[in-house]
Structure 1
Amino acid sequence: MLSCYICRKKFSFKSDLLIHLEIHEEDKPFKCELCEKTFSEDCILTEHIRIHTGEKPFKCNFCKQAFSDRSDLTKHKRIHTGEKPYFCDTCETSFYTNRDLKIHKRIHKGEKPYACNICEKAFKNQSNLNVHKRIHTGEKPYSCDICRKSFTQVGQLIRHEMIHTGEKPYSCDSCEKSFHSKGELALHNINHTGEKPFKCYTCNKAFSQQSNLTVHYSIHTNKKPYSCNTCKKAFRTNGELTVHMRTHTGEKSFKCDICEKAFSHQSSLTVHERIHTGQKPYSCDACEKHFSRQNHLIIHKRTHTGEKPYSCDTCKKAFTQQGQLTLHKRTHTGEKPYSCVLCQKSFKTTSNMITHNKTARHLKKLESTKNADSPSASTSFVDCSESDVKLEIKEEETLDEDPLSINMEAESVEETIKQEIKEDEGIDSEEFV
């Protein structure tokens, strides 16, 4: 134990003692020439100067992370060893440092001594308040050296840099899946336990995370507070808006190592990689069928339960998927939002338009357009024949029927096209019509 030479208060770590010494108004003859801060001892000044020089002589033999102070290294090593010597006498939770324990105890006391002078929101510790204030100032002091993206917290930067390095140091003991952070691993472990403690008071649907429940509530309220400045499209979460913005910027920073196909979102890349690995981690407990995406499993389960949660406001007909309902509504409105660029024929779905585009008559016209030598050549086309697009007519005859429960793993042309188009936006293919 280390003791303060002035008041004899004891500390476990030298860094805590150094912080404590600053409260004493004693003579501090040792002055930093860079920032003019003064210290009571020469050794304390030496350690302080490392802040300016960036020197970090103490390295972790587990992960090679370096520190400017030996006591910081000692605390860091406990992450690897799992040692947590400080216990809460109220709930028996353990911590790496005594400082973390003191902050934790404020949860039981309800103590939040640090308040924001702008919005008056209170926090348990000063560091959380400092991070919060950056919401008001817009400050993002931590930048990635590779892509220049900025962050409000150093922890966010560290996790972001792992995207570039591919490092995932935290592995699941049950399925060996790896994650960038300990928090991501903790959330993942809930998938194995099946625990869903957060329940919607409107429909009783349960979730494993509070954040997922918060997003779910917006389905009932229809609130979409996040709007795109470019096209004014609105979204339920800031994350959805961020992904959407990449459709305008064209940014695709997540690349497949096998085929080099690029994606705008990490989740889209993860799903794509399963095409190469053949991995289908989501299985139906009723028929043991496997799926590559969780939302595909959810839709499949409705074939067993008979659930049809999406109903038409006009005729009350119900459907298993939102996309089916959207298609059905067009039978009432007559809407045909997809048009052929050559003959201007309109369609209710993209798949039918693509089928039309593959007809012999259409391909011949397209080739004529490419080979045309005069402006008048582009206007010499005849209308596309209905006989060339029999599948389009069939769509009109069968649309009112309840579509078969779609096997989202099927390799049909329509679903493959939907998936390829929507992968880059990170949007479920069932929502795209």
Structure 2
Amino acid sequence: MNKCHICFKEFFTKDRLKVHTRIHTGVKPFKCDLCEKAFRTKAELTVHKRIHTREKPFKCDTCRKAFSQQSALNLHKRIHTGDKPSCDICKKAFSQQSALTLHKKIHTGEKPYSCAICEKTFTRQSQLTVHKRIHTGEKPYSCDTCEKTFSKQSHLTVHKRIHTGEKPYSCDTCEKTFSTQSHLTDHKRIHTGEKPYSCELCQKSYKLSSDLSRHNKSAGHLKKLGSTQNTVPASASTSFVDCGEANIKLEIKEEETLDDDPLSINMEAENVNETIKQEGIQDKDSLSCEQNLHPEQKLSNKIKPEKKETLDNNPLSIKIEAESVEVIIKEEIKNEEGIEGKEFV
């Protein structure tokens, strides 16, 4: 057996191996004298020339449809016989064995053909050839009506339907016709109600991918996206209270109330009472400043920083009843309501 040193595929003859090697090297010694397209084998060139001559020597004996290649006729006959090889993994059926072989590469992930410019890989040589035209800008297929050019034959075929008005794909529900299979697929969703394209942010769904793209660019979507990205959890949000001439800015953290979790209060009742008595209210200005603060925040402000640090660092020593704190807060509220200058008890 003759084995390829690149992909290790085996061949019965050296001539077949030589032709196969051209897949890897890209050598195409046989050129068409009409369009200068090149091919790896003389047989491929012969078949290609029938595109220019429109010769179709092979006819189906059932429906009399003609083909330029014997292999194409053999494939066509399976329409009548229903004979289609299928994938043993996903059971999908194909009209030809070569198509099945290519399909299996989807399951194996094999992509032996790579672009020398961007290193993108492909399962077939023909896919690589078409891809290279992105880099070269080559568009070898031109419309004989408007001279517009295309990089793929299939794109030219679809384009020509603009001039001919041909719409070979029809809806089996309303009989509306379309020039492409993709347009028919999109249309059928009107009848089925299917909306396969959905927004990840608001979960709104659409029939067409273009509609989803339009939605993603809308002002409402972008605004919602911006608010989502800039959202800060409530427990971490901060605000500041301006206390007049002193310009004191106190950070107020929105946390759970003291009644909800008395064990989370980092202070001793005795130390709190001691601190409040020592500090007191010095004058009316300080009282009016504190009137802008929440009672809990006032209580927090009267605890000395060093004392708070000590208590925070030793939570196990904290033994406080929630009732003691509530009494202190109530006394603070009374002072706000008019008992000015009176020391806290």
TM range (shorter): 0.5 to 0.7
Whole-Å separation in 1 of the counterparts to 2:187 and 2:130: 29
1:164 aligned onto 2:35:
no
Match of 1:210 in 2: 70
Whole-Å separation in 2 of the counterparts to 1:362 and 1:226: 51
TM-score using structure 1 length: 0.46
Alignment-mate amino acid for residue 42 of structure 2:
K
* Corresponding residue to 2:145 among 286, 289, 305: 286
After superposition, residues 391-402 of structure 1 pair within 5 angstroms as none
Alignment-mate amino acid for residue 21 of structure 2:
E
1:261 aligned onto 2:137:
no
TM-score using structure 2 length: 0.56
Whole-Å separation in 2 of the counterparts to 1:272 and 1:302: 24
Match of 1:190 in 2: 50
Whole-Å separation in 1 of the counterparts to 2:223 and 2:123: 36
1:365-398 CA-to-partner distances (Å, cap 9, x unmatched) read 9979xx99xxxxxxxxxxxxxxxxxxxxxxxxxx
SS at match of 1:234: coil
User: Does the aligned pair in 1 maintain the 2:201–2:225 contact within 8 Å?
Assistant: no
Alignment-mate amino acid for residue 222 of structure 2:
A
Whole-Å separation in 2 of the counterparts to 1:315 and 1:222: 30
SS at match of 2:156: helix
Whole-Å separation in 1 of the counterparts to 2:149 and 2:7: 37
Q: In angstroms, what is the RMSD of aligned CA positions?
A: 3.4
Match of 1:252 in 2: 111
After superposition, residues 108-147 of structure 1 pair within 5 angstroms as 141-147=1-7
* Corresponding residue to 2:101 among 242, 251, 255: 242
Whole-Å separation in 2 of the counterparts to 1:149 and 1:238: 17
Whole-Å separation in 2 of the counterparts to 1:363 and 1:217: 55
Gap regions ≥5 residues in structure 1: 1-140, 373-433
Per the alignment, do residues 247 and 352 of structure 1 end up closer, same or farther by CA in structure 2, a change over 3 Å counting?
farther
Q: Shift in Å at residue 166 of structure 1?
A: 2.2
Match of 1:312 in 2: 171
SS at match of 1:270: helix
Whole-Å separation in 2 of the counterparts to 1:317 and 1:152: 53
* Corresponding residue to 2:184 among 325, 331, 346: 325
User: Does the aligned pair in 2 maintain the 1:224–1:237 contact within 8 Å?
Assistant: no
Per the alignment, do residues 270 and 339 of structure 1 end up closer, same or farther by CA in structure 2, a change over 3 Å counting?
same
1:118-148 CA-to-partner distances (Å, cap 9, x unmatched) read xxxxxxxxxxxxxxxxxxxxxxx44222112
Gap regions ≥5 residues in structure 2: 234-345
Aligned residue pairs total: 230
User: Does the aligned pair in 2 maintain the 1:356–1:362 contact within 8 Å?
Assistant: no
Q: Shift in Å at residue 280 of structure 1?
A: 1.8
1:327-361 CA-to-partner distances (Å, cap 9, x unmatched) read 22222122234455665544434454555566536
After superposition, residues 210-229 of structure 1 pair within 5 angstroms as 210-218=70-78, 221=80, 223=82, 225-229=84-88
Whole-Å separation in 1 of the counterparts to 2:203 and 2:82: 36
Per the alignment, do residues 320 and 356 of structure 1 end up closer, same or farther by CA in structure 2, a change over 3 Å counting?
same
Alignment-mate amino acid for residue 31 of structure 2:
S
Whole-Å separation in 2 of the counterparts to 1:289 and 1:307: 18
Whole-Å separation in 2 of the counterparts to 1:150 and 1:367: 57
User: Does the aligned pair in 1 maintain the 2:141–2:151 contact within 8 Å?
Assistant: yes
User: Does the aligned pair in 2 maintain the 1:253–1:264 contact within 8 Å?
Assistant: yes
Match of 1:360 in 2: 222
Whole-Å separation in 1 of the counterparts to 2:228 and 2:96: 41
Whole-Å separation in 1 of the counterparts to 2:201 and 2:11: 47
SS at match of 1:307: coil
